[in-house]
Chain A
Amino acid sequence: MLGSNRRFLYVTVAVVVGFLVLAWINQRDTHAPGEISESKGLHIQSWKSDSGANVLFVETRQLPMIDVRVVFDAGSARDTDKPGLARLTNVLLDHGAGEWDTDSIADRFESVGAISGASALRDSAVVSLRSLVDPTLLEQALTTLTAVLQKPHFNPDELERERSRTLVALENDRQSPSSIAEKVFYANLYPQHPYHTPSVGNEDSVKSISIDDVKEFYNSHYTAKNAVIAIVGAVDRDAATKIANQISAELPEGNAAAALPDVADLTQSETINKTFPSTQSHILIGQPGMRRGDPDYFALYVGNHILGGSGFGSRIVEEIREKRGLAYSSYSYFLPMRKPGPFTIGMQTRGGEVEKALSILDKTLREFIDEGPSAEELQHAKKNITGGFPLRIDSNKDIVEYIGMIGFYNLPLNYLQTFNDNVNAVTAEQIQDAFQRRVKPDKLLTVVVGSNSNAKPVKAGSEGS
């Protein structure tokens, strides 16, 4: 999964919230990260703002609230030789802007009950706002958001503070075997590609980023043509037009960001072991997968649902957890990104079981590629995906994230309307064909982080017990 710039803040709290509120969730969320949804009833309106930003809008009248999500092609894939720059720029936007300092900006949002957010992933950087639509409250929230987007101060003292907090976040990652595994995984999956570092960056780079770097990054990436504005809520088209124009008015027109370099396929299998004093070993297996808008998207998505994307009932969970009790969480997913994001199989298990687990995963994957899904599995997957369709867009929060994604990746506006039909059209042969062409079991990266981890590459045809 992709990191976000608020991630570390949540780390301390997640411990507490997890225990106090939700406690132990039995199963893992069965939806692949980044997966998307649709609604036949969803009416997306789209236009260009006066300054040239792409706007997507869905009017929902039932609740007196609005969500605004501005997505820039300004994620860490744009870091160039300064990993962490995109995220630091994104974080610093609301640390003083327009007439206000950091404290005043926080107070202006929160005193009207608004919630503002900022995050940077690999592909995109997001600034978001949720507010009531009461005119007085909304106006103060929007005025503040406008300053944050268009007039950030980028004060050097603020950079120093965020630099130091980022270094703490990096230290925090170093005490987590799952974070370590993820970093090693991406670094080796994308050795020559901007996707190789997480948005949080690395220690050396974060220490070297200057305020001029931040200003330059902002000036070249936070432009109207590089932005998508998604709006959902209880306002009409006229009001949405005004909002989109206001928040993008003084962004320089700029240009859409240049295309990212292509991703090279792995040329051979590789296994990387990293020792860590944890009771479990964390396993990640994968290779570059597919991009947004990929012609094989639906075949790979439905196929992966059966392989390991749908929790209980999927083959990987069946083999690893249900039959053998080897792990609490096991899964596979494609993360579609601008360029092919990873295809990942993951789990974690006690040290002594790593070899057994690797051999079972290898066998499960090879079988699926060789034989494809059964007719029954395919029918079951289609029923699950299409029958649960209304759940995917049952809130303003879901809708605004989905239309932001559609706009950002230039997916067709009827993408949602046709989603179920596209799922239903997938055949077992197409899945088998797509997996055989796209997933290469002899060119897989395997990362194992934990104690006693000294896994060897699994040879083809070896047996799981």
Chain B
Amino acid sequence: MKLKPYLFFALLTAGGVPVTGFAQVHEFMLENGMKLLVKEDHRAPIVVSQIWYKVGSSYEHSGITGVSHVLEHMMFKGTKKLGPGEFSRLIAEQGGRENAFTGRDYTAYFQQLEKSRLEFSFRLEADRMRNLLLPPEEFDKEREVVIEERRMRTEDKPRSLTYEQFNAAAFTNSSYQYPIIGWMDDLRNLTVEDLRNWYQRWYSPANATLVVAGDVDADDVLALAQKYFAKLPTEEVAEPKPRIESKQLGPRRVIVRAPAKLPYLLMGYKAPVLNTAEIEWEPYALEVLAGVLSGGNSARLPKELERRQQVVASADVGYSLYSRKSDTFLIDATPAPGQTVDTAEQAIHEQLDILKNELVSKQELDRIKAQVVANAVYELDSVFYQAMQLGQLETVGVGWQRADEYVDRVRQVTAEQVREVARKYLVDKGLTVAILEPQALVEQARLASD
């Protein structure tokens, strides 16, 4: 998908656009501290169940990076009641789709099922929340699987390598410096004990949010949750240490030399997010700023740099106001043929200078606001997305209720505010640049047919 950061989150009722048939979110707290969020959506006879744990790579420390993600893999490898792989087999037999994902700020597990089969999901998730076995022989194989995953996603992808090096340079003591999948050396030296400790520490009802969306009745879901989750013992989960990023004192530059054909540029500026902003409107103004630059084909980067100046083949902005910790406002670009990362970087700086000096037009603001309103409707087409949004906001500490404010807050952003955040945050002392310098690839086709 094309990156439109401000499109990622939306509302129940999009500002002014009537959306009928969508219930409010129901929030429940079980006695053991587990939160339950239910969103009824009766369009299709299906249900999505997601369980979100407050743990991810930003909870990790040096030496065990990647442990959250490896543990996520091992959650499919058996409990006291179930053999390795049986979880997946049972869900498959119910016609379900299931999977899991690990991010910097969360680890989440999900099932999508025909609506009458939700109970299977609850029974199995409740079991593995407290009864995971972590068999050593399964761990030995799964560590190899994850190492292959790292090779596939990072080692053999020059842009991924560049992004990993970017984060490692941009963040000095913030735990956002760690790759989600973990450093290769840490993966090789990970032990079952590391996983067991991690599981004990974070996989507790009080550290989890269960999100259910679809063709269900909230009270029925609550009754099912009481049946399977309420009896689970809970423990206090200690808050992770803040590890707030220390002040950056000047621009940083990283060169990545890797086998590749194309140069690549990543520029990131330190920026607040909703969770950390001292001034509440600033993250919304940064969202609008991202939209001005790359929110569609009529935005400035495609229009000015790709089409008019033809200095980049493509350029995009990444900013998520729903991170747990302060983050970066990220711009990436691939130079057009005959251009270099230097000319691309210069052209991007020129665009940023314009934003610092001139107010964005009413037409641009109106376009972004129209997109935000429309996307709030489009997002309702995906039940999975609706659950995802609630889970993420709740788990990073923003609170699911804040999703409701999104469209209105973006609509309130003024041209002056956009200029102000550009002036305040798109500055040298918060900048990290990572450049991919392609190294020759040796390509030799050999035919070895019999």
Contact = CB atoms under 8 A, between A and B. Distances in A.
Interface of A: 6, 8-13, 15-27, 30, 60, 62-65, 102-103, 106-107, 109-115, 130-132, 134, 137, 161, 164-165, 167-169, 171-172, 174-177, 180, 184, 269-280, 310-313, 321-329, 348-350, 380, 383-391, 393-397, 454-457
Contacts of B261: 171-172, 174-175
A366 B382 CA distance: 40
B448 interface: yes
A457 B449 contact: yes
Contact of A168 (B262, B297, B378, B380): B262
Contacts of A165: 306, 313-314, 336
B445 interface: yes
B33 interface: no
Contacts of B63: none
B40 interface: no
A396 B105 CA distance: 31
Decide if the interface of chain B is mainly helix, strand, loop or mixed: mixed
23 contacts: A8-B313, A13-B2, A13-B318, A16-B163, A19-B163, A22-B103, A24-B181, A27-B100, A63-B381, A109-B297, A113-B373, A130-B378, A270-B450, A272-B448, A275-B443, A280-B155, A325-B140, A325-B144, A327-B148, A348-B151, A350-B151, A388-B96, A394-B383
A324 B141 contact: yes
Contacts of A132: 17, 374, 377
A395 B382 contact: yes
Nearest to A163: B337
B188 to A, nearest CB: 13
Contacts of A277: 259, 441-442
B313 A168 contact: yes
Given A16-B318, A175-B438, A325-B140, A380 B92 contact: yes
Contacts of A274: 443-446
B3 interface: yes
B130 interface: no
A387 B102 contact: no
Contact of A388 (B114, B151, B449): B114
Interface range for B: 35 or more
B282 interface: no
Nearest to B303: A103
A374 B87 CA distance: 21
Given A15-B159, A106-B303, A168-B337, A64 B442 contact: no
Nearest to A169: B313
A360 to B, nearest CB: 14
Interface string B162-201: 0100000000000000001100000000000000000000
Decide if the interface of chain A is mainly helix, strand, loop or mixed: mixed
B94 A134 contact: no
B152 interface: yes
Counting chain B CB atoms within 10 Å of each CB, which of A311, A321, A391 scores highest?
Answer: A391
Given A9-B314, A65-B378, A325 B151 contact: no
Given A102-B307, A276-B443, A390-B45, A24 B102 contact: yes
A65 B381 contact: yes
Interface stretch (B221-229, B350-358, B364-372, B417-425): B364-372
B381 A396 contact: yes
Interface in B59-93: 69, 72-73, 76, 84-85, 88-89, 92-93
A184 B43 CA distance: 44
Given A16-B318, A102-B307, A327-B148, A64 B114 contact: no
Given A161-B307, A388-B95, A349 B43 contact: no
A113 B44 contact: no
Interface of B: 1-3, 8, 17-21, 43-46, 56, 69, 72-73, 76, 84-85, 88-89, 92-97, 99-104, 112-115, 117, 140-146, 148-149, 151-153, 155-160, 163, 180-181, 259-262, 264, 295-298, 302-303, 306-307, 310, 313-316, 318, 320, 330, 332-334, 336-337, 363, 366-367, 370-375, 377-378, 380-383, 438, 441-450
B141 A26 contact: no
A90 to B, nearest CB: 15
Nearest to A176: B157
Contacts of B46: 390-391, 394
Given A13-B332, A23-B103, A312-B88, 13 more contacts: A20-B320, A21-B8, A24-B102, A63-B19, A107-B298, A175-B261, A177-B156, A270-B449, A271-B449, A273-B447, A325-B142, A395-B383, A455-B448
Given A16-B318, A325-B141, A384 B367 contact: no
